[in-house]
Structure 1
Amino acid sequence: MSEETKKSLVPHYIIAAIVLVIILAVIFWPKDAIVEPEPLVIPPVTQPLVEPTPEPEPKIEIEEPEPYVAEPVVEPVIEEPEIEEPLDTSDGAVKTKLLTLSDYDAFARLLIDESLLQRFVVMTNTLAEENLTASHRVLSNPEKPFRTFRQADRDWIDPASYKRYSPYVEVFESIQTESLIQLYQEYKPAIEQIFAEISSPRDSFEEKLADAINVLLDTPEVPVPVEVYTDSVMFKFADDQLESLSGPQKQLLRTGPENMRRIKAKLREIKDLLAL
């Protein structure tokens, strides 16, 4: 038998020997004795210790704090109260504002330039007391004189005399009532101050203004022509009832029936807006 054949049979001899040993052990093993077989100790399979691969630590990104920038300190804005300019009560300012209320250039020629507010206050107070004062009128006198005509040995007011007052009435009618009231309200503090200097503390200027308007509105309507007579000084009404009227009412009669109607209509508008 060759060496290669011998070498190839070696594993078979070993296996056969092991099988024989097992058979002999089974045949000759004592039957009565029960011996607990020693537990087959199977050595634990030891696997090579593998060090766990450490997980990479999470990269913690630390945000750099933004540089601190101090906010600018804003000083509180303290609004100073508006200081109202004092009202200009000069004659030039008053007249300028009055002239803006009318489209008629004649208004400038009719207004008196001196002490307009004082004249208005005194005139109103005098009218309320049913009197007239030539020294405190706010409008100039008509340029044309008062005229009469004679008929049947009696004197009558000439209708031409009524026309003297037409420019005044036209200016008065052209003024917008709302604008006039606004101007009055603007100057009311100055007006009341002037009124306080000439009146009793118990009196109210608006009450006086209402009384003055009512005096004129109470003037009666009379037919024309109107008879008058002269006492060598001035003309008087021949009708005693007309002559007994107050000075302001007789003056309104001299403007003529048509002019008086227009003046009264404007006065009613003013009275209604002022709620007098």
Structure 2
Amino acid sequence: MKKKQSSIGQWLVSGVVVVLAIAVGVFIWRKATQAGGEPTPVASSTAPGSAGAGPAAASTAIRHPIAQAAPAPASTAPLPALDASDTDVASALLALGGNALDGLLQRDQIIRRAVATVDALPRQSVGTNILPLKTPKGAFLVEQADGAITLSPRNAERYGPYMQVLESIDPRALVAWYVAHYPLFQQAYRDLGYPKGYFNDRLIVAIDDMLAAPVPDAPVRLVQPKVFYRYADPGLEARSAGQRLLMRLGAEDETRVKAKLRQIRALLTGATLPAAAASAG
């Protein structure tokens, strides 16, 4: 008989987060519980230039200049200082994401959190102190039968509010907002430890990495060697943090997220990435 595992303090919860504070459509993860308050997110959990950074993060040659993005900036008003931008950024994102975003958004250091998360997603792990959104409510669900542990399809219900925000966002308006606020993202990226880096290039790396995530055959088998669950397939477990999280959404929601990512990528680069090519690997 199948049994639901429900102790939230015993394993990893995959937090579905649309990055740029739901703005640029990539995802992060964190532990289910954490004692005390969250530290100030001033850097990613993995040092710049370490595994997963890749040439795009370290190179000084700009591959995807933000000036080539199609939408015009939404406003010509002067930008606030980065460390005084939270009120302005939260207001703009809530206008883009609707009421569903209101209870999900972390209201402090929004851009710094988003930048640190984007930088970390193509790596093997993402720190717990850099989340731009709150994690899903409820426990991470698995099912057990005949000695096997599998990912429960009921987890999709926990991600419903995040998918609602994702579907409600107009990609063109979203990218226009991002372009208008890009200097703040660039400053946050340099402050993160990339004085010669270009954040939009790293964003495209993160998006492309997510698009390359496979769609695992259901049911997805898991193992629990210690406290946290892992994919039973070593090939899936070896994927980046962003890909592992995307795979946990289930095939239907993973397809929906990838479609939105391709729209955003096309607007940012002026080039449309075919679905088959994006999902290869």
Question: Do both proteins adopt the same fold according to a TM-score greater than 0.5, normalized to the shorter chain?
Answer: yes
1:219 shift after superposition: 0.5
For 1:200 and 1:92, the matched residues in 2 are separated by 26
Q: Which of 141, 145, 152 in structure 1 is aligned with 2:146?
A: 152
180-189 or 158-167, which moves further after superposition?
158-167
Higher helix share: 1
For 2:77 and 2:250, the matched residues in 1 are separated by 46
| AA partner of residue 126 (structure 1) | A
For 2:156 and 2:179, the matched residues in 1 are separated by 33
Within the alignment, does 1:87 sit opposite 2:80 as a pair? yes
For 2:77 and 2:219, the matched residues in 1 are separated by 55
SS state at 2:197 partner: coil
1:85 shift after superposition: 4.2
Change (3 A) 1:85 1:204: closer
The C-alpha deviation readout for 1:162-220, integer Å capped at 9, x for no partner, is: 22112101211210111111110111111111111123333211110000101111110
For 2:77 and 2:165, the matched residues in 1 are separated by 32
For 1:180 and 1:209, the matched residues in 2 are separated by 14
Matches of residues 258-273 of structure 1 in structure 2 within 5 Å? 258-273=252-267
For 2:206 and 2:86, the matched residues in 1 are separated by 23
For 1:202 and 1:127, the matched residues in 2 are separated by 20
Show the counterpart of 1:223: 217
1:161 shift after superposition: 1.2
Contact 1:128 1:208 in 2 (8 A): no
Q: TM-score, normalised by structure 1?
A: 0.66
The C-alpha deviation readout for 1:64-94, integer Å capped at 9, x for no partner, is: xxxxxxxxxxxxxxxxxxx964436521211
Matches of residues 74-153 of structure 1 in structure 2 within 5 Å? 85-87=78-80, 89-103=84-98, 105-153=99-147
1:244 shift after superposition: 1.3
For 1:245 and 1:128, the matched residues in 2 are separated by 9
Show the counterpart of 1:20: none
Pairs aligned (count): 193
Matches of residues 1-276 of structure 1 in structure 2 within 5 Å? 85-87=78-80, 89-103=84-98, 105-275=99-269
Computed over aligned residues only, the root mean square deviation of the Cα atoms, in angstroms, reads 1.8
1:129 shift after superposition: 3.9
For 1:129 and 1:260, the matched residues in 2 are separated by 19
The C-alpha deviation readout for 1:5-63, integer Å capped at 9, x for no partner, is: xxxxxxxxxxxxxxxxxxxxxxxxxxxxxxxxxxxxxxxxxxxxxxxxxxxxxxxxxxx
1:223 shift after superposition: 1.2
Change (3 A) 1:130 1:212: farther
The C-alpha deviation readout for 1:217-243, integer Å capped at 9, x for no partner, is: 111011111111112310011111111
The C-alpha deviation readout for 1:120-162, integer Å capped at 9, x for no partner, is: 1111111244532221111111001111111111111111112
| AA partner of residue 183 (structure 1) | W
Once superposed, which parts of structure 1, at least 4 consecutive aligned residues long, lie more than 3 Å away?
83-86, 128-131
For 2:149 and 2:120, the matched residues in 1 are separated by 30
| AA partner of residue 175 (structure 1) | I
Structure 1: gaps spanning 5 or more residues: 1-82
Contact 1:123 1:136 in 2 (8 A): yes
Of the two structures, which has the highest relative contact order with CA contacts closer than 8 Å and spacing of 6 or more?
2
For 2:182 and 2:77, the matched residues in 1 are separated by 16
SS state at 1:159 partner: coil
Contact 1:165 1:259 in 2 (8 A): no
